[in-house]
Amino acid sequence: MNENIDNSNRVAASSPKGLGMAESEIRYSSNCVRLSPGEWLVAAIVVAAVACLTPLFWQRAEKFEPGPDYRVPYDLSNDYYLYRRYSKSAVDRYETLVVGDSVVWGHYVSMDNTLSHHLNELARRGGLTRRDAFGNLGLDGIHPAALDGLLRYYGRDIKNKNVILHLNPLWMSSPKQDLQTEKEHDFHHPGLVAQFTPKIPCYKAPCSQRISVVLERYVPLFNWVSHLNIAYFQSMDVPAWTIEHPYNCPLKAVTFKLPTSDNYERAAGPARPVGNNVLDWVNLKTSLQWRFFRRSVELLRRRDNKVFVLVGPFNEHILAPESIEAYRKMQIEIEAWLRQNNVPYYMPAVLPAEFYCDASHPTSRGYAELAKQLQSFINIPKVGGNLVVQFRNIPPYPPPKPI
């Protein structure tokens, strides 16, 4: 009993009150280490260095050696880290870059049957070069609203080049395709579209998700993490992947080997020329996709690129007469803007019906025919042993007009 009393007295004596400290002088804090302002600065510098250098060192570990007719693998269509890496390589390798959606990429054809491949074949047959002059920078599902973001944030290295920019009229064939509808619906590449302005009515992502998308565009570490998830973890983050594969080691999943470029969808056959499809073509004056396409043209030109626009060719064999008439009016408006802004272009006539796989994708024969037609609009002179691709009859560029 006396021993307990003595222990109580010792505890009381060692307490703040027992030591003569006032209640207001007692400091309460966690056991965390408190950093001084200088230490915070050092920590910030270390974190920033890791965030910037890790993606760069990764490129040395992950071999990336694109061969002839390379295109971003279909399975990595949302891997914008890889697209930027490839676009930087393509700028150094090719004289002319062919940019656009799955029509340029070659949705239903192999790597050696795309538009860029056939253009290269024509250049080699003419004895002008032994190396490729045209690079395939197409990406599956890149509608104009997404293309604007792709070029703006991940195509910064595309400067002082020749660019054949493809416009697929399919993206303006209905208010839904044009992203005009107020009702939310899924569409390709939401991570590339404008997150806040201009407003896209059908895009209803929460503010937190939009901020995350914006950060990924500017912070290399976030973009690299997204690359890891897409390339090695089936487009899932590591926690989600481990739940789906509880007995697999995440480290073993990182093989440093990227998918091949020849995984593509096989078409059942040429599209049937039924001639009864009625499309609700949008008005270009209110079209979001057309607005973003014009922004892409002006962005490329501000970066000192020589831009040549290829419009279509759309498969008119499947359209009803009234849809063809509406499409003709839209073509006239597109052509008027291109002429007004001194943008060289080619709007080919419709190809034979058997040259289409669907509404907009040519077959291999269709790509070969389209390349032959384009050849008459492109000069490929051999100057001093180096291949220099030049577009014919390019008028002087006026200052880009803001959209």
One-letter identity of residue 333: E
Mean pLDDT of 300-315: 94
Residue 207: per-residue pLDDT: 95
Q: Is the pLDDT of residue 36 over 50?
A: yes
What the chain holds in terms of domains, given with CATH numbers, is: 66-391 (3.40.50.1110)
Secondary structure (DSSP) of 254-311: --S-PPPS---PPPSSSPP----B---PPPTTT-HHHHHHHHHHHHHHHTT-EEEEEE
Residue 129: per-residue pLDDT: 59
Least confident piece of the model among 42-51, 167-176, 319-328, 335-344? 42-51
Mean pLDDT of 335-358: 93
Rounded to whole angstroms, how far apart are CA atoms 273 and 291?
A: 31
Rounded to whole angstroms, how far apart are CA atoms 148 and 251?
A: 35
Per cent of the chain over pLDDT 70 is 84
Dihedral sign from CA coordinates of 207, 208, 213, 218:
positive
Q: Closest Cα partner for 94 from 111, 76, 71?
A: 71
Dihedral sign from CA coordinates of 104, 381, 389, 344:
negative
- Give the residue with greater pLDDT, 229 vs 7: 229
The residues near 23 (Cβ < 8 Å, ≥ 6 apart) are 16, 17
Pairing outcome for strands 386-387 and 382-383: antiparallel
- Give the residue with greater pLDDT, 200 vs 374: 200
- Per residue in 324-336, pLDDT tens? 999 999 999 999 9
Rounded to whole angstroms, how far apart are CA atoms 94 and 88?
A: 10
Q: How confident is the model at residue 383 (pLDDT cuts 50, 70, 90)?
A: very low
The residues near 9 (Cβ < 8 Å, ≥ 6 apart) are none
Average pLDDT of every residue of the chain: 86
Least confident piece of the model among 135-144, 257-266, 299-308? 257-266
Residue 44: per-residue pLDDT: 87
Q: Is the pLDDT of residue 388 over 60?
A: no
